[in-house]
Structure 1
Amino acid sequence: MNEMIIEALEESNKWWKSEFTIDFKPREIYEQLSQFINTKQIIALTGLRRVGKTTLLLKLIADNLDKFGANNICYFSFDNFRNATMKQVLNCYSQLMNKDLNTEKYFFLFDEVQKLENWEEQIKRIYDNFKNIKLAVSGSESLFIRKKSKESLAGRCFEFKINPLTFKEYLQFKQQKFENFQLYKNDILREFNNYLISSGFPELINENRETIKKYIQETVIEKIIYRDMLQIFSINNPSAVESIFRIILLSPGTILNMEQLAKELSISRQSVSNYLDYLEKSFLIKKLYNFSKNTRKTQRSLKKYYPVIFAPELVEKNELKGIVFELSIILNLDAEFFWRDQYKHEVDVIKINKDTNTILPIEIKYAKQDYGGLVAFLKRFKLKEGILISYDKKETIKLSDLKIKVMPFYEAILNSSM
């Protein structure tokens, strides 16, 4: 095992032997996480497979070669080393580089740590015993799903969730900058369609449709459901997990009937609930809560489920563009809440600004401008203004003392603090 670890270390840490540079495109999250390089706390990156977590770790390395020294930075992925331990990696590094880990400052970056049993105890031991070692970790499932993880690393870790590219980041990757939206409207709309096809995966932005379909199905969906999830969770029926995911993938924003779904799949209601939880913790889906000012009521109320991937079969059909459009805005806004009342008035997104304690209702309409739900919400919560995000319309609608600002999606997500 030690020989294999040493071989992997030699292959992965190219900066030990030569100059190291990385082709890095701007990510909004990087500025946030890089601020913590000087703190003792562990930097933890979580998120869906293939969204760029490893690239962000390598960027941290490239930016800190002078700070720590190239030979004092060590990267290791546990993707193919489930039976290894972090201590083994430290010992192999120490042996290979002839280093005493009790002297000097070091930066260790461990990738795919969720593969390890009791990874949290292993990293905690390093954190507590080596005050001179800075740590960063990444995982393709939520690293803090177990109560034990939260308790072990309380106060020792800063977690950052890495999402697929936003449309703004996608344009940066493509080196496209549109300051005059009106002038470049057609270019923006064309790039937006390409963005939807790529599902926001950095590796796919210049690939053809067939390659993208195959990649999403085999490299993302199947590997998560039939490999990664089985290593982490207790799953008796992975095909049922895929069936549940497919329902959400092809019907974004669905409110699931647990009993009916359990009957259709011939599994228990508890299994449906568990599988939804596992899909969410593996970052394949996200749920939105029905907004209420009563937090306890919000947790118990209706939930909408959305995939974090755009189904290629939906993107390709013109008659379904409204569904894909709504999903794309939900994901770009990183929405957490929707609203529906007993009269079936509904608003797609409720944004809460915790700093200013303000509430902003947002309706998403690809074509028809129906703002009945917005009006009902504004009256119910005694607000004066709401937003309607459209495909390309822009206007202000005044209804008595209420105001609805209609704006094209590109203005809302490229040039806004929403």
Structure 2
Amino acid sequence: MAMLNLIPTEKIIERLRYENPWWITKEIPNTYSSMSKRLYFDLFYPFVLERSIKRALVLMGPRRVGKTVMLFHCIENLLKEGTNPHKLFFIGIDNPIYVNLSLEDVLTLCKDSLNLENLNGCYVFFDEIQYLKDWERHLKVLVDSYPETKFIVSGSAAAALKWHSTESGAGRFTDFLLPPLTFQEYIHLKKLDHLIFEGDIQYGDKDIKYCLTHDCKALNKEFVHYLNFGGYPEVVLSEKIQGDMGRYVKNDIVDKVLLRDLPSLYGIKDVQELNRFFTYIAYNTGNEFSYETMSRESGIQKDTLKKYLEYLEAAFLIKVLNKVGVNAKRLKRITSFKVYLTNPS
């Protein structure tokens, strides 16, 4: 920990204690415990408990979809199931106080602050992991060095996460994608579950479970509202944000990805060109494109276009759909494709 002298060790330990109040209170902050769990939680939590496979769990997804809240809900469940509070660590890597510290340095400070002999049986949550340079190498070393410790990390700059976790973490990381809210989750968060019920429909000779409604008109009204506001939990639950939706999405989500995350991750120099290209896609979402027509209409070189599409899709801002044949394989000779915004709001 050669760089520790930049910030006093006591200050860093003080921050760790602040981020981990359950070391004393044995419960997570009310800010998080009062929030409803996303329906994806039931799919994610078993991966947190999985210890037979020595892998770190990487929670990926767009900005503002509830990744940090899901980590706190995992900690809450572990506490309720009897896990020792001193075996649970949460570290927000985006905090400047951790600059120049490796993940192992932070772990050592956690261990020292609680006078632990080892980290066996511990759960370690690193939030916003992409702010640490070469995070995947650090994490891979930790997985190998601490086989009895479970590591769970999250990050919003999914372009880096997706690429690095597959390139450098082969056999060490399990990826889990948390998308924007589905319509079913929107109904759940709005406490409108009474509008739908589980039924069956006949498909061939099989009965398939299906969601049906008591009130189609009311459900359609909520669906329109979902299309306008429903992708982000914070927006769904705040009428104030809904009143200025454009500023929220632009400032908190799109601009931070386009103007900060992607340029810093990929060394993009012409940020305005990327911003202009995304605006072009937004106004033409759902249309059929080819690289030739897209290049002609946007004024951007084809090779650059391909990179921009790759970056934007990795950051979960868009989804590119290619034509496929009857065997579900991509048609190689067909050059046209469609591009959709991942979140209509």
After TM superposition, the score normalised by the length of structure 1 is: 0.68
What one-letter code is carried by the residue in structure 2 that aligns with 1:131?
P
Mapped to 2, the partners of 1:94 and 1:179 lie a distance apart of: 48
What one-letter code is carried by the residue in structure 1 that aligns with 2:36?
K
Q: 1:275 aligns with which of 308, 311, 321?
A: 308
**2:312 maps to 1:295:** no
The residue that corresponds to 2:50 in the other structure is 38
2:36 match: secondary structure = coil
Mapped to 1, the partners of 2:316 and 2:341 lie a distance apart of: 9
1:396-415 to structure 2, matched below 5 A, reads: none
1:165-314 to structure 2, matched below 5 A, reads: 165-177=181-193, 178-179=195-196, 183-208=214-239, 209-292=242-325, 293=327, 295=329, 297=331, 301-311=335-345
1:110 match: secondary structure = strand
Q: 1:87 aligns with which of 96, 104, 113?
A: 104
* Deviation of 1:99 (Å): 1.6
1:29–1:179 CA distance, 2 compared to 1 (3 A): closer
Q: 1:72 aligns with which of 82, 87, 98?
A: 87
* Deviation of 1:45 (Å): 0.6
Deviations 1:321-368 (A, max 9, x none): xxxxxxxxxxxxxxxxxxxxxxxxxxxxxxxxxxxxxxxxxxxxxxxx
Indicate the larger mover: 34-43 or 176-185: 176-185
2:108 match: secondary structure = helix
What one-letter code is carried by the residue in structure 1 that aligns with 2:105?
Q
1:100 match: secondary structure = coil
Q: 2:117 aligns with which of 100, 115, 122?
A: 100
1:159–1:287 CA distance, 2 compared to 1 (3 A): same
Indicate the larger mover: 236-245 or 214-223: 236-245
* Deviation of 1:269 (Å): 1.7
**2:22 maps to 1:15:** yes
* Deviation of 1:129 (Å): 0.7
Mapped to 2, the partners of 1:298 and 1:60 lie a distance apart of: 43
What one-letter code is carried by the residue in structure 1 that aligns with 2:91?
F
Mapped to 1, the partners of 2:336 and 2:136 lie a distance apart of: 34
Indicate the larger mover: 77-86 or 195-204: 77-86
The residue that corresponds to 1:135 in the other structure is 151
The residue that corresponds to 2:62 in the other structure is 48
What one-letter code is carried by the residue in structure 1 that aligns with 2:70?
L
Indicate if the aligned counterparts of 1:46 and 1:142 stay in contact, CA closer than 8 A.
Answer: no
The residue that corresponds to 1:61 in the other structure is 75
CA RMSD of aligned residues (A): 2.3
Indicate if the aligned counterparts of 1:289 and 1:299 stay in contact, CA closer than 8 A.
Answer: no
2:191 match: secondary structure = coil
1:257–1:303 CA distance, 2 compared to 1 (3 A): closer
Indicate if the aligned counterparts of 2:258 and 2:274 stay in contact, CA closer than 8 A.
Answer: yes
1:243 match: secondary structure = helix
* Deviation of 1:251 (Å): 2.1
Q: 2:141 aligns with which of 125, 142, 167?
A: 125
Mapped to 2, the partners of 1:263 and 1:142 lie a distance apart of: 26
* Deviation of 1:144 (Å): 4.7
Mapped to 2, the partners of 1:3 and 1:273 lie a distance apart of: 48
Q: Structure 1: which 5+ runs fail to align?
A: 312-418
Q: 1:109 aligns with which of 121, 125, 149?
A: 125
* Deviation of 1:189 (Å): 1.9
Indicate if the aligned counterparts of 1:283 and 1:308 stay in contact, CA closer than 8 A.
Answer: yes
1:252–1:63 CA distance, 2 compared to 1 (3 A): same
Mapped to 2, the partners of 1:158 and 1:182 lie a distance apart of: 36
1:19–1:67 CA distance, 2 compared to 1 (3 A): closer
* Deviation of 1:89 (Å): 1.1
**Matched pairs, number:** 309
* Deviation of 1:193 (Å): 2.1
2:188 match: secondary structure = helix
1:201–1:98 CA distance, 2 compared to 1 (3 A): same
After TM superposition, the score normalised by the length of structure 2 is: 0.82
Mapped to 1, the partners of 2:91 and 2:328 lie a distance apart of: 45
1:195 match: secondary structure = helix
Q: Between the two proteins, what is the percent identity of the paired residues? A: 28
1:253 match: secondary structure = coil
Mapped to 1, the partners of 2:333 and 2:61 lie a distance apart of: 23
Mapped to 2, the partners of 1:120 and 1:24 lie a distance apart of: 30
What one-letter code is carried by the residue in structure 1 that aligns with 2:340?
Y
1:367-378 to structure 2, matched below 5 A, reads: none
The residue that corresponds to 2:206 in the other structure is none
Q: Structure 2: which 5+ runs fail to align?
A: 1-6, 198-211
What one-letter code is carried by the residue in structure 1 that aligns with 2:318?
I
1:205–1:94 CA distance, 2 compared to 1 (3 A): same
* Deviation of 1:194 (Å): 2.0
What one-letter code is carried by the residue in structure 2 that aligns with 1:123?
L
1:15–1:270 CA distance, 2 compared to 1 (3 A): same
Higher relative contact order (CA 8 A, sep 6+): 2
1:68–1:285 CA distance, 2 compared to 1 (3 A): same
